[in-house]
Amino acid sequence: MSEFFHEGSRQLQDRFDTRPMADRLVDAIVSGQISPEDKAFIEEQNMFFFATVDREGRPNCSYKGGSVGLVKVIDEQTLAFPLYDGSGMYLSAGNVLVNEHVSLLFVDFQRQARLRLNGSAFIQDDDPLQNHWPEAELVLRVKVREMFPNCPRYIHKMTLVEESSFVPKQHCETPAPAWKRLEVVADVLPPRDAHLAGNEQDAAAALNRN
């Protein structure tokens, strides 16, 4: 793990006299493999934060939510998750196509625990796992470079009140988001959503309720 830190990290470690502690922590908690305990933790989560970068190194961070099992651990070094219908901008997925480096942050707010994972991501057409998640447009796979738990002291304790009704489920029609009925996008919706162009007033009311 000698390459885990770069000169920026080292500069601040030396400034605050934490270099020995940082090196010790790398040896103690950073791993290049997903343990059975890590697998259980990851697959119990229904959301995570996903960071990507473009060709110029400019970051983009997004929230990915679904049902428990949103992320599937394939083996000790690989995990996968679905990309559902979104805004159509494909910021995260687009970044992956031009820069493989990604980070995932899993946070369990009820147990106040978190896990960080860095690795290389890729998307393959007709991924055999695509049918594992209803309505998945694509499946993104990540090869682990390093992963480690984080100190939980600043995690706020929160309880899940309700799962989003927009999470795709087997044998259940997923409602369309209200914003796709707004006039501003009515003439540029993709063919599969063209039927959604509708009453602007109803859409605005639905947005206000949400």
Say yes or no: 93 and 189 in one domain.
Answer: no
pLDDT at 201: 55
138 and 189 both lie in a single domain = no
- Whether pLDDT at 94 is above 90: yes
Residues in the chain: 210
CB atoms within 10 A of CB 119: 20
| Residue 200 counted as domain residue | yes
Per-residue pLDDT at 209 exceeds 80:
no
- The answer to the question of residue 162 being in a domain is no
E strands along 84-198, which residues?
A: 101-108, 113-123, 138-149
Q: Does 140 share its domain with 202?
A: no
Let me know whether 121 and 203 are in one domain: no
Average pLDDT over residues 90-102: 98
Q: Is 158 exposed, middle or buried (0-12, 13-18, 19+ CB in 10 A)?
A: exposed
One domain, residues 62 and 106? yes
Same structural domain, 57 and 134:
yes
Q: What is the pLDDT of residue 2?
A: 54
Position 80 scores a pLDDT of 98
187 lies in the same domain as 105: no
Average pLDDT, the chain: 92
Do 144 and 202 lie in one domain? The reply is no
Clarify whether residues 139 and 71 are in a common domain.
yes
Beta strand 47-53 with 59-65: parallel, antiparallel or unpaired? antiparallel
Percentage of residues in the chain with pLDDT exceeding 70? 93
Residue 194: per-residue pLDDT: 84
The pLDDT value given to residue 182 = 86
* Total count of domains within the chain: 2
Looking at the chain, the whole-number percentage of residues with pLDDT higher than 90 is: 78
Cβ atoms of residues 42 and 147 within 8 Å:
no
- Measured CA to CA, the distance from residue 140 to residue 120 in angstroms comes to 10
Does an H or E element contain 8, and which? helix 7-15
- Structural domain including 46 reads 31-149
Alpha carbons within 13 angstroms on the beta-carbon side of residue 110 total 8
User: What is the amino acid identity at position 132?
Assistant: H
**Residue range 113-122: average pLDDT?**
98
Return the pLDDT at 92. Answer: 97
Confidence at residue 157, expressed as pLDDT on a 0 to 100 scale: 97
- Per-residue pLDDT at 117 exceeds 90: yes
Query: Among 197, 110, 92, 96, which Cα is nearest to 160's?
Result: 110
Which residues contact residue 20 at a Cβ distance below 8 angstroms, ignoring those fewer than 6 apart? none
